[in-house]
Every structure is written in structure tokens, then in C-alpha cells.
Amino acid sequence: MTHYFETPTGEEHRRTVSARFWDTDWEFTTAAGVFSSDGLDLGTGVLLRTHTPAPGARRLLDLGCGYGVLAVALASASPDAEVDAVDVNERALALTADNARAHGVGERVHALLPDAVAPDARYDEIWSNPPIRIGKQALHDLLLQWLPRLAPGGVARLVVGRNLGADSLQRWLIQQGHRCDRTASAKGFRVLEVRPAS
């Protein structure tokens, strides 16, 4: 079985899905073998309905971008910002690039494999519906890799299912020295805002 956090080998079967958030109707191209290929997943929907990027954010990261919903939304809401969209699934990255072009933000959304991100890149905001199903240790390793890339004063927004360990993840992040606050809770999901470790 191919997981969405790997590059799939089967047919794409591309299709269009619709979503509504920020008082706007959106359409995205998706395909088999990527996360939530049938439409906007509940967690990302909760994140987008409860938060918007700060007006001054200039460098943003969509970590685990899937077909690019967060990346496109962030770039659309922040016309002066550059957005890195990172995923290990190359089909997802191709879809992200296509969706960014379709929404007129293709020049500012950079769909990248993790190793292609500049080592000195720092972000005002990190947005993520993280891949919980890769396992707790792999998830911790992922966050330990990317959270240090927050710029001073930056914030990461993570949406995690309550029944998938949101509360234990919050405790772990605090144990790592981060400030971590729950800023929204809806439909079984928590939004955690994480500030850099002191």
C-alpha cells in the first residue's frame, strides 16, 4: 500500500475539488495518492476557519503541503510573502505548483522536497496539518527539524486531531522548551500555536 507521505506509483486520476474558507470559494486540482484527495480535510478546514496569516509575514512555510491548499491560501492572503511548500510526495508537489499557478501565485509558491529548502531559510510563520500517521518518533523528529527555522517572533500553527494525540503533542512541545498554546478547538481538532524555544 502506498501512503500519501510517499510518492505514489499508480495512475493520478486528477480531479477538481471545491472548498470555502475566508469568505471565498476555491477550487483545487487533486489526484490519487495525496493527502485528502477527495476534498478539504476537516483539520485543515478548522485551521483556515480560525486563523489567518499576520499582515507583516513575509516568509511562510506550508509543512507537509499535500496538493497545496495552505500554500495557495497563504500566498493569496499575503501578496508580499514568499511561501515554501514542502512535502516528500513528488506528486503532491506537482499538484501544489499547478494549483499555485491556477490561483495566480505560482511565482511566490515554491514547491520543494525537504532537502531542497535552503539551509538558512527562516520563517515568520509555519502552517501545518502534520503527518501524524508517520508515527510519534518520526513526527517529533520532523518538528525538531523545522521548528528551529522559525524567525525571532515567529509562530507555527499545527492542527492535530484530539484522538490522534493533540494534547500529548502539546505537552511534548512544552517539554522541549517551546511556548505552545491551544488557540482553537473544533470538530475533534486542536490548533496549537508554537513559539520558538527560548
pTM for this prediction = 0.94
Neighbours of 140 (CB within 10 A): 14
Which pLDDT tens digit goes with each residue over 11-42? Answer: 899 999 999 999 999 999 999 999 999 999 99
Higher per-residue pLDDT: 133 or 55: 55
Average pLDDT rounded to a whole number, residues 113-128: 97
| pLDDT of 122 strictly over 80 | yes
pLDDT at residue 157, as a whole number: 98
Higher per-residue pLDDT: 197 or 180: 180
pLDDT at residue 196, as a whole number: 85
pLDDT at residue 82, as a whole number: 98
Euclidean distance between CA atoms 68 and 110, whole angstroms: 10
Name the grid cell of 43: 483539520
Euclidean distance between CA atoms 55 and 96, whole angstroms: 23
pLDDT at residue 2, as a whole number: 39
Which pLDDT tens digit goes with each residue over 143-178? Answer: 999 999 999 999 999 999 999 999 999 999 999 999
pLDDT at residue 3, as a whole number: 44
Domain ranges within the chain, ordered by starting residue: 56-195
Question: What is the radius of gyration, based on Cα positions, of the chain?
Answer: 16
pLDDT at residue 1, as a whole number: 31
Which pLDDT tens digit goes with each residue over 75-105? Answer: 999 999 999 999 999 999 999 999 999 999 9
pLDDT at residue 198, as a whole number: 63
Mean pLDDT value across the chain: 94
8 Å CB contact between 71 and 107: no
- Reported CATH class of domain 56-195: alpha beta
Least confident of 1-5, 166-170, 190-194: 1-5
- The closest alpha carbon to 129, from 193, 197, 70, belongs to 70
Q: How far apart are the first and last CA of the chain?
A: 41
- The closest alpha carbon to 168, from 143, 145, 136, belongs to 136
pLDDT at residue 195, as a whole number: 95
- The closest alpha carbon to 197, from 147, 160, 157, belongs to 147
| pLDDT of 6 strictly over 70 | no
